Each structure stands twice: as structure tokens, then as C-alpha cells.
Amino acid sequence: MGMGGLQPDVVELHKLEAVEKHLGRFVDARKIGNWKSALRECNAAIAAGADFCAMLFASRAEALLQMNQLDEADLAISRASKLDCSSSCTQDMMFCGFQANSYLYYVHAQVDIAFGRFDGALSSVEKARKIDSGNIEVMAMHKNVKTVAQARSLGNELFHSGKFAEACLAYGEGLKHHPANSVLYCNRAACMFKLGQWEKSIEDCNEALKIQPNYWKALLRRAASYGKMENWADSVKDYEVLRRELPSDTEVAEGHFHAFVALRSSRGEDVSNMKFGGEVEALLGTEQFQMATALPGVSVVHFMAPLNQQCSDIAPFVDALCTRYPSVNFLKVDITENPTVTQLENVKTVPTFKIYKDGTRVMEMICPSHQLLESSLRQFEV
């Protein structure tokens, strides 16, 4: 824009006109709830040069939220909050019928409540009300946020007192006022789980995941509910997604292991030798080696020498894998103590890793990187 009283140049003027045109269209689209158009106009205004305006990023956040793109909306509102509002919009400027800054807080409250950040939502909507107490949308949002936050805290209180049926009703009350709240669905699913209503728990988890597909808590709850219904295949499927996302979570690893064993058992496969977790087991002698590698499931054998630097370097990583992949048998063969096994297996270099599945060797790696070792293990794990 022009500075020190100088006329803005033609380019700036065109920029300003373009921004105003898109802004006008955004306001029209917002009025009729056409969020797809609203988002398009918003993006166009930002591209036309208004990338300093907090209000536009707040508008973008609101449109994304209404289109159920929660993570994108969260990014946009945090961008809006970082931009200094006073530089781009004055306190008494109007925006979409809001006092400018109150719109920012109004959208912030919407994003916060969608993510289950109830305290943040309350504080934002209070700020909006202080600036803009005459605005109908702000007042309605204030009432709504308070009601939803109260329902959630009452639900939590009842849940912690073991009153699961009452907690269910409280969360349900919150959902009447905010039907797209993944946190309330997930909380109600926890109540259903406690009440032994597994199918209803799964339904609520599905709703939560529809709203927020990467809501791992809801996925974990669904995996456990499937397990309770002995639907092992779906339980394992959910746990597999969780394992990829939360590789070092032991609750997930343990749940996955038990579901996996139950699935194999339900198919009539032998699971008598499958154990959870433990340490890397040292093997001695040909007989012990042959028995161990013939076990059902996956076994990983680390051929190593105690004084070899590369073996020493990779050993802690193998220990970590042992914890992360509890359904896999991790074994080691010291080649200096087991010359017969070493010769039999034709091991010339250490560290060598061999993966066996249900008694058959499926992979051999010499001096693998951490990444290759883990990805190969993943490939055969289930």
C-alpha cells in the first residue's frame, strides 16, 4: 500500500481491487453456507496479495472447519493468530458483520471446540463476547461453547466416579449442541466400552474417526472393542494402523500381539510357542537353533560376534525392535561359540540377519541399515 501519503501505484491498486472482489464473494458465500466457494474466494484473496491479513486466514480456517478439514483449519487459525491484527485490521473495522478481532476469536473458539480444547474455546469466545456483545453469532457461539464444555466436564466427572450410563447421557447432551465433536464421541465410546456395549462403542468410534481420521485414541478404543467381540481380523487391522503411527507405544504393541495370537488361534493355527515381548534369546547348538527357527510366526536371528564393532553398534537397535515387535521371536547366535551352526547356515560376515516365517527362511541381510532391518521385519510380521 502507499506510504507516507503517497498515492498507491497502479499494481497495488489492482491488488486491492482483486482482494476486495474476492472478499465480497467470500461474504456472500458464507451467508448462504456455501463453504466450498467461501474457501475458494478466501484462497484467491490471499493469493491476490492479502497474505498479511489475519481475518482472511481466520476466514480460511472457518471454511475448512465447515468442510471437515480439521488439521488444515487448525493450521490456518494459528497462522491468523500469529499475524498482528492491529497492522491489518483496526479494532473498530467490521468484517462479515463482526467487529474485526471478535471474528478471529469466534473462529478460534470453533476450531478449539472441534479439537476438544474446551478451555481454549471458552477463553476465545469470552474475548469475542467482550469485543462484540451485540453480535448474534458471537452470543449464540458463547452459549453453545459453554453448554458443550459443561456437558463434557460433567461427563468426565461421572465417568471417573464409575457412573458410566450417566456419563453417556452427559456426553450425548454435549453432542446435541455440537454434533461434529470427535472428542465427545470418543468419550462416549469409552462409557459404552465400560458398560460392555461393544457395538455402540464401535459406532461412536466410527463417528469420531469420520470427523478426525487420525484420532488414534478412537482407533485404539475401536480395536479393543472389536477384540471384546472376538472380531479379531478387524481388531488386528486397526492395531496395524496404530503400530505404524505409534511404533513405540507398548499398550498398542501388546494389544496387537494378543489380537494377532487370537486371530491365528481362531484359524486353528498353532500358537503355543508365541510369547509376548521378552529379550533377544541366545541360541546354543544346532538342535536349539533348528527348534527355534521352526516355531510358528516370525523369528529373526542375529548372527554376531562379541568383539565385532558393527554387531555392538546394532545390538541396542535389535533390543528396541524386540520391545516394539512383541509377536516376533528375536534370537542371536554367537558365531565364535557356534561354529557348526555358522557353517551350516553359511554365515561368512557379521552382523548377518535371517528372518524365518513358520519355519521357512524368507530373508537374509548382511550388515543391514536400521531402516532395512525394520522394514523387512514389518513385511513378514503379520
pLDDT tier at 270 (50, 70, 90 boundaries)? Answer: confident
Task: Decide: 164 and 194 in contact? Cβ < 8 Å.
Answer: yes
pLDDT of res. 329: 87
Burial class (CB in 10 A: 0-12, 13-18, 19+), 308: middle
Ramachandran bin of 19, using left for φ above 0, alpha for ψ from -120 to 50, beta for the remaining angles = alpha
DSSP 336-381: TT-HHHHHHTT--SSSEEEEEETTEEEEEEES--HHHHHHHHHHHH
Residues 15 and 128 in one domain: yes
What CATH number does residue 363 fall under? 3.40.30.10
Residue 5 forms part of a structural domain: no
As a residue count, the chain comes to 382
Mean pLDDT of 31-47: 92
For cell 502507499, what's the residue?
2
Residues 172 and 259 in one domain: yes
Select the more confidently predicted residue: 281 or 218: 218
Residues 208 and 240 in one domain: yes
133: DSSP letter? T
Residues 64 and 166 in one domain: no
Residues 179 and 261 in one domain: yes
89: DSSP letter? S
pLDDT of res. 236: 93
Q: How far is CA 10 from CA 1, 7, 267, 299, in A?
A: 10, 9, 75, 72
pLDDT tier at 366 (50, 70, 90 boundaries)? Answer: very high
Residues 114 and 180 in one domain: no
Q: Which of 212, 241, 266 delimits the end of a domain?
A: 266
Whether residue 1 has pLDDT greater than 60? no
Give the chain's mean pLDDT.
89
pLDDT of res. 88: 46
Residues 101 and 201 in one domain: no
Task: Decide: 54 and 85 in contact? Cβ < 8 Å.
Answer: yes
User: Structural domain tally of the chain?
Assistant: 3
Residues 92 and 118 in one domain: yes
Task: Decide: 73 and 65 in contact? Cβ < 8 Å.
Answer: yes
Over residues 68-97, the pLDDT tens digits come to 898 999 999 998 888 855 444 444 578 888
Task: Decide: 42 and 60 in contact? Cβ < 8 Å.
Answer: yes
pLDDT of res. 84: 58
Whether residue 38 has pLDDT greater than 90? yes
DSSP 6-37: PPPPHHHHHHHHHHHHHHHHHHHHHHTT-HHH
Residues 14 and 130 in one domain: yes
Long-range own/partner contacts, residues 374-381 (CB < 8 A, 24 or more apart): 374/321, 377/298, 377/300, 377/321, 377/325, 377/328, 380/298, 380/355, 381/298, 381/325, 381/327, 381/328
pLDDT of res. 278: 63
Burial class (CB in 10 A: 0-12, 13-18, 19+), 136: exposed
> What is the residue range of 372's domain?
281-381
180: DSSP letter? T
Mean pLDDT of 112-138: 92
Q: What percent of the chain has pLDDT over 70?
A: 93
Whether residue 313 has pLDDT greater than 70? yes
Ramachandran bin of 5, using left for φ above 0, alpha for ψ from -120 to 50, beta for the remaining angles = left
Ramachandran bin of 285, using left for φ above 0, alpha for ψ from -120 to 50, beta for the remaining angles = left
Residues 299 and 354 in one domain: yes
pLDDT of res. 275: 65
pLDDT of res. 2: 44
Over residues 227-253, the pLDDT tens digits come to 999 999 999 999 989 988 987 787 898
Whether residue 374 has pLDDT greater than 80? yes
pLDDT of res. 174: 96
Select the more confidently predicted residue: 248 or 114: 114
pLDDT of res. 75: 93
Whether residue 223 has pLDDT greater than 90? yes
Residue 4 forms part of a structural domain: no
pLDDT tier at 32 (50, 70, 90 boundaries)? Answer: very high
Whether residue 203 has pLDDT greater than 80? yes
What CATH number does residue 66 fall under? 1.25.40.10
pLDDT of res. 91: 47
Pairing of β 298-304 and β 328-334: parallel
| Chain-centre distance for alpha carbon 20 | 38
pLDDT of res. 247: 78
Residues 362 and 285 in one domain: yes
Over residues 140-171, the pLDDT tens digits come to 999 999 999 999 999 999 999 999 999 999 99
The Cα–Cα gap between 199 and 50 comes to 49
Average the pLDDT over each of 16-25, 185-194, 319-328 and give the range with the smallest value: 319-328
Type and span of the H or E element at 112: helix 100-114
Over residues 322-342, the pLDDT tens digits come to 877 877 889 999 999 999 999
Residues 216 and 102 in one domain: no
Mean pLDDT of 252-278: 81
Grid cell, residue 221, equals 478404543
